[in-house]
Amino acid sequence: MELRQIQYIMQLFRDSNITRASRKLFISQQGLSKSINRMEDELGFPLFERSSSGVIPTEAALSLYHYFDKVASSYHDLEMAIEDLRQKHQLKLVGYQGFAMSCGRDIYTSYCRQYPESRVQYEEEYNDMIPDHIQNHKADLAFMFGPVPRILHSHQLIRKEPLCAVINRDHPLALKSRLSITDLHGQQILLLDQFQGFNDQVLKAADASNISYTLYGSCGISEFLPVVHTFNLIGFSTRQMYQNYNFPEVVFLPLKQDTHSDYQIETHLVSLRDLAPGQEAQQYIDYVASITE
């Protein structure tokens, strides 16, 4: 007697119809009938009476129903317990959109090589959605742009890099070594979706200085460089975000915040402040610290 046969019997109990039961079990009617027949041969008595209207459990089947149901339910409980254990050993990571492209592969591949028993789930989300993602326990750890909100704790500063103005190589401003807010006067601006917070910061500074500019629109990572090049626009990003792109038609120029400093973008590894990291999360935190020191 196999568990699969018991599951077939329970489904047939519920449906009293070979066609409906086989459809729900994703097997053929012939396959289901053969399996039930083998079970009956093994037991030495019938479990169902066949008729033109369907199948009816025999008295023997009815007397065994409780035991069949108990086995099927226990197996389901076992599957749930196994899944709970898997979840406890699964590390859920979230990063801002484009993070995987902009970071070294070691953050993922070498970790999995070093800890082959660990199961890592990774997804990307807009940076401003990450705090809610962590707070709602959809992720254990996150890679996000600073500043880090108070509900989160930064375990590691992954990197610090300048925010750059991205422009066509043929643009007159491309001859400069860096740009300032005043250089945006009279320009058309393209916003990169992933840099919403930094876009707002730059444009507020321009508005405060009475800089006149035109917003062309916004786009995602893959469209950003071609659109900047094609329409002779100015956008804002980091060189690291496009380290794997070969696009010589555009240049990345650090953007000055004031006369003394550039705009800087920080990437942090964070978790929920009031919740101690689990074993898997702490192991990953320690690993990241060891490769970024």
CATH architecture of 164-262: 3-Layer(aba) Sandwich (3.40)
* pLDDT range class, residue 84, cuts 50, 70, 90: low
Q: Which of the residue ranges 68-77, 230-239, 242-251, 269-278 would you say has the lowest mean pLDDT?
A: 68-77
> Are the CB atoms for 211 and 139 separated by under 8 Å?
no
Provide CB contacts within 8 A for 282, sequence distance 6+.
none
Total-model pTM: 0.67
> Are the CB atoms for 68 and 116 separated by under 8 Å?
no
Average pLDDT over residues 236-256: 91
Residue 92 burial (C-beta neighbours within 10 Å; 0-12, 13-18, 19+): buried
Q: How far apart are CA 285 and CA 141, in angstroms?
A: 9
pLDDT greater than 90 at residue 6: no
Range ranked top by mean pLDDT from 82-96, 100-114, 180-194, 277-291: 180-194
For the chain, the structural domain boundaries read 3-84, 90-159+266-292, 164-262
Range ranked top by mean pLDDT from 98-107, 111-120, 193-202: 193-202
- Structural fold of domain 3-84: Arc Repressor Mutant, subunit A (1.10.10)
Q: How far apart are CA 135 and CA 125, in angstroms?
A: 14
Q: How far apart are CA 79 and CA 85, in angstroms?
A: 10
Q: Does 164-262 match 90-159+266-292 at the fold level?
A: yes
CATH of 90-159+266-292, one of 1.50.10.10, 3.10.580.10, 3.40.190.10, 3.30.530.20: 3.40.190.10
Q: Is 160 left (phi over 0), alpha (psi -120 to 50) or beta?
A: beta
Range ranked top by mean pLDDT from 40-44, 63-67, 208-212: 208-212
* 213's tokens: 């500019």
pLDDT greater than 60 at residue 195: yes
Give the single-character DSSP code of 239: T
> Are the CB atoms for 190 and 216 separated by under 8 Å?
yes
> Are the CB atoms for 16 and 54 separated by under 8 Å?
yes
Helix 59-88 vs helix 3-15: crossing angle, to nearest 10:
120
pLDDT greater than 60 at residue 88: no
**CA dihedral sign of residues 58, 63, 66, 71:** negative
How many other CB atoms are there within 10 angstroms of residue 212's CB atom?
10
* pLDDT range class, residue 127, cuts 50, 70, 90: very high
H/E stretch holding 21 reads helix 18-25
Residue labelled with tokens 């326990």: 137
How many other CB atoms are there within 10 angstroms of residue 149's CB atom?
14
Residue % of the chain over a pLDDT of 90: 49
Residue of higher predicted confidence among 118 and 153: 153
What confidence score (pLDDT) does residue 131 get? 95
